[in-house]
Amino acid sequence: MQRRPIIVVTGANGGVGFGICHRLLVQLAQRNPPDASPRLSSPDAHITHSDSPNLKYEPAASTGATVIMACRDRKRAERARGQLLALLDAHIAKLDARSADGVHARAFRENVEVEVMYLDLSLIRSVLEFGTELAQRYPYISHLICNAGVAAFSHLGWARFFKQLATAPISSVEHPCYNIQTRGVRSKDGLGWTWQCNVFGHYVLFRTVQPLLAAYSRTGSEPSPGPARVIWMSSIHASPVYEKDDWQLTDTDLAYESSKYQNDIIALELSSRALAHQKYTRNANGNGNAVVDGNDRAHQGAASEEEAEGEVLHYLVEPGITPTNFAALLLDQIPFGRFFMVLLFYIVRLLGSPHVLFSAYHAALAAVQAALSAPPLPNTLAAQDHHAMPKYGSQTDRWGYERLGVAETRESAKREGEGRALLQRCEDLYRTFLAEYQAGAEGEGSR
């Protein structure tokens, strides 16, 4: 029997995070979840399964699930939890109680758990404490969805807005140049605030729960549930608009866009290392000799001990653009601001933009399909060169029908190796915070 999924979603009390939880519950309540069999809207993406691990998979349907809402605001999270369960109940109420689908959904409802746990990514101690509590409560984690994000937006540049709207209306929505951000904001830990919340905090979270992810992958039951999955939330706004030395993004006007680019290259590097580890393991298991090329050996040598204990798949997704995005908050400052934003979104979608969605449920499509697809979506491209991976995106056509898109994520030639260097900086910083946390815990225990 397939193991019960235990899924952690950061920033789950609103926006796309709420939509991910909603979609997960509705999909898992179905005997044959449509999101378990996604279809790519880009047939020329040259995605291949050739390097996917040779494992057996059961359908993604489940008789139960645990969804952990990892949030900073407990009150908002508890309200969101109640709303999620109400939405699930409304979905199940529409099904014929005597049908096979109705019976399955009601059995699922009796065995579903939606839990709220405190997590503040702007405080690394909170992240480490979250991981400790998670390990005490659960034997494994099947999915980690790194969704939470922040931006230090201060105001809209109206002159820029009207100029971009007049000259490039689609770009004014897909790649706005008028959302003004505050430079130099730092966290209580003394790190770049946007960088810590969007990048480093999630890296620390991944490293902290990595043994729990590996425990899910190492199951001894048959058929195997497959590897645990980490979903990294990117953005169509992702862009390397910062200097390499400013890796904490304190001296750039576009810290949000840069942080999403850093998520891209971190996911790319982690996926490359996991791929190298899988090839190393298959070679070792196949002939008793682990024969890999030089590039694979370099990646394998850098892999952590936890990675060697169990496979973890890394995916990069982006949710498109919805009225829940950060810029919508700025529009509340003017009369009818949101009305005009929604009107602009509709116009841009009719003009052909595939990235405009009007509900968090639809925006969650890419993350949930990457999480539930069986067999798993490929996380490498046909090039197989350790420098490219697919970025799955929530998309729609002109009439609002959702679809899964895919684009290539690749380090540019002038920034070659940046992902590896950034990952090493994150790892070194993580170990520093971990040592301080463990020393403090030992000090408290000796009192």
pLDDT in tens, 258-292: 999 999 999 999 988 877 766 656 565 554 443 33
- Give ∠ CA 240-244-246 in degrees, rounded to 5: 95
Cα 419 from Cα 272, distance rounded (Å): 11
Over range 221-226, report the average pLDDT.
Answer: 56
**pLDDT above 90 for 11:** yes
pLDDT for position 250: 94
CA dist., res. 288 & res. 376, Å (int):
27
pLDDT at 242 over 70: yes
CA distance 443 to 249: 34
415 against 30, higher pLDDT: 30
3-class DSSP assignment, residue 315: strand
Residue 112 in this model has a pLDDT that exceeds 60: yes
Angle between helices 418-445 and 255-287 (to 10 degrees): 90
Model's pTM, two decimal places? 0.88
The single residue listed with the structure tokens 């895919």 is 406
Which tops the pLDDT comparison, 305 or 66? 66
For range 33-45, the mean pLDDT: 73
Quick check: 24 pLDDT over 80?
A: yes
Q: Please give the structure tokens belonging to residue 98.
A: 């005597």
Tell me the average pLDDT across 219-231: 71
Question: Hey, which of 32-41, 73-82, 342-351 has the most confident mean pLDDT?
Answer: 73-82
Bridge partners of 118? 71
| Whole-number Å distance between alpha carbons of 405 and 416 | 26
Distance CA 334, CA 249 (A): 30
Q: How confident is the model at residue 21 (pLDDT cuts 50, 70, 90)?
A: very high
Question: What pLDDT does residue 3 have?
Answer: 79
Give the pLDDT confidence score for residue 413 in this predicted structure.
61
Whole-number percent of the chain with pLDDT over 90: 53
Q: Are 230 and 213 in contact (CB under 8 A)?
A: yes
Q: What are phi and psi of 59, to 5 degrees?
A: -55, 155
pLDDT for the residue numbered 309:
42
Q: What is the pLDDT of residue 285?
A: 58
Q: How far apart are CA 375 and CA 60, in angstroms?
A: 9
Backbone angles phi, psi at 6, to 5 degrees: -125, 110
Task: Show me where the domains of the chain are located.
Answer: 6-445
* pLDDT at residue 284, rounded to an integer: 58
Q: Taking 70 as the threshold, does the pLDDT of residue 51 lie above it?
A: no
Please indicate whether residue 40 or residue 83 has the higher confidence score (pLDDT): 83
**pLDDT tens string 342-365:** 888 889 899 999 999 989 999 999
Split at pLDDT 50, 70, 90, the class of 218 is confident
Average pLDDT over residues 12-30: 95
Q: What is the pLDDT of residue 266?
A: 93
Pairing of strands 388-396, 402-410: antiparallel
Confidence band for 48, pLDDT divided at 50, 70 and 90: very low
pLDDT for 400 = 87
What residue has token string 């009107």? 343
Q: How far is CA 258 from CA 178, 231, 241, 394, in A?
A: 16, 18, 6, 20
Cα 27 off chain centre by: 18
Q: Model confidence over 123-167: pLDDT tens digits?
A: 999 999 999 999 999 999 999 999 999 988 888 787 888 898 889
Mean pLDDT (the chain) is 83
pLDDT in tens, 367-381: 999 999 987 888 777
Q: In angstroms, rounded to a whole number, what is the distance separating the alpha carbons of residues 291 and 189? A: 43
Give the pLDDT score at 382.
Answer: 57
State residue 52's pLDDT score.
41
- Is 6-445 in CATH node 3.40.50.720? yes
Nearest Cα neighbor of 82 from 147, 25, 130 is 25
Mean pLDDT of 309-328: 77
Contact 27, 368 (CB under 8 A): yes
Structure confidence at residue 339 (pLDDT): 76
Name beta bridge partners: 65. 112
